[in-house]
């Protein structure tokens, strides 16, 4: 059956695959025919993701690694070998008002959200472990790119920075037909939501600000990522795909 979104015959590496958007993306990529390589810090949760993959005729594998540790990041690149797709989902968030943005806290968030994904992409490209016509998808955010919320200035800065790297990488890797794009989600129901930051009433009011009157689910973002990985997006590069239930209209 014809399916322009098929990932059959491709090997896709997904970071942050132990939970949230990364986990669901890995599961959906396997359903679309990909061989999936998972990486994340939590071995137990990573193995749960691995066990949930459609594995008919596939040799999926999991690599336990903390990408903020250079040696572990390099291990992932070495073990993965050549890949057709790279999905950079690993990330963190911390509510931090501007007056409390001490350098140590800023560095910690940038290490996870910016430096680690930039470095893993750089290494795969430099070592020629991205096949020609490979696709890279970076999970950014509407925060820092399209919107700004009080208390999220450092998180927003990391997402604006990684989105900028996406565009530069797309330009430089285009001669090899390697596409680099990002998805920019609005609020998504994942473990990263800080349930202590707002009251239940405030969360409901925030949801009401979305024209579709709900937060996204990880599968909403995963389907956008699969589009960008697939041949259906073969003429799309350097693009930020906003998936936000209409919030930025």
- What amino acid positions are annotated as catalytic residues? 155
Exposure of 22 in the CB half-sphere (CA atoms within 13 A) = 31
How does DSSP assign 122-189, residue by residue?
A: HHHHHTT-EEEEEEEEEE--SBTTTB--TT-HHHHHHHHHHHHHHHHHHHHHGGGT-EEEEEEE-SBS
| Assigned token pair, 45 | 């949760």
Scored b (16 or more CB within 10 A) or e, 43-64 reads eeebeebbeebbeeeeebebbb
- Cα–Cα distance for residue pair 15/28, rounded to 1 Å: 14
């Amino acid at each position: 059956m014809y399916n322009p979104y098929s990932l059959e015959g491709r090997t896709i590496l997904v970071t942050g695959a132990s939970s949230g958007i990364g986990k669901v993306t890995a599961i959906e990529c396997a359903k679309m025919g990909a061989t999936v390589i998972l990486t994340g810090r939590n071995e137990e949760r990573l193995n749960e993701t691995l066990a949930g993959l459609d594995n008919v005729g596939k040799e999926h594998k999991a690599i336990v690694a903390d990408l903020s540790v250079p040696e572990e990041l390099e291990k992932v690149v070495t073990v993965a070998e050549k890949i057709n797709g790279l999905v950079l989902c690993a990330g963190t968030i911390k509510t931090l008002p501007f007056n409390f943005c001490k350098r140590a806290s800023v560095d910690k968030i940038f290490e996870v959200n910016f430096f680690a994904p930039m470095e893993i992409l750089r290494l795969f490209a430099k070592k020629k472990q991205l096949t020609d016509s490979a696709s890279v998808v970076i999970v950014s955010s509407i925060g820092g790119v399209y919107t700004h919320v009080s208390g999220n200035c450092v998180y927003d800065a990391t997402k604006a920075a990684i989105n900028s790297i996406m565009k530069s990488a797309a330009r430089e890797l285009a001669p090899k037909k390697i596409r680099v794009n990002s998805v920019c989600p609005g609020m998504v129901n994942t473990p990263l939501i800080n349930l202590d930051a707002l009251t239940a009433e405030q969360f409901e009011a925030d949801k009401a600000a979305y024209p579709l009157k709900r937060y996204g689910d990880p599968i909403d973002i995963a389907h956008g990522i699969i589009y960008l990985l697939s041949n259906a997006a073969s003429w799309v590069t350097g693009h930020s795909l906003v998936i936000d239930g209409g919030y930025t209209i």
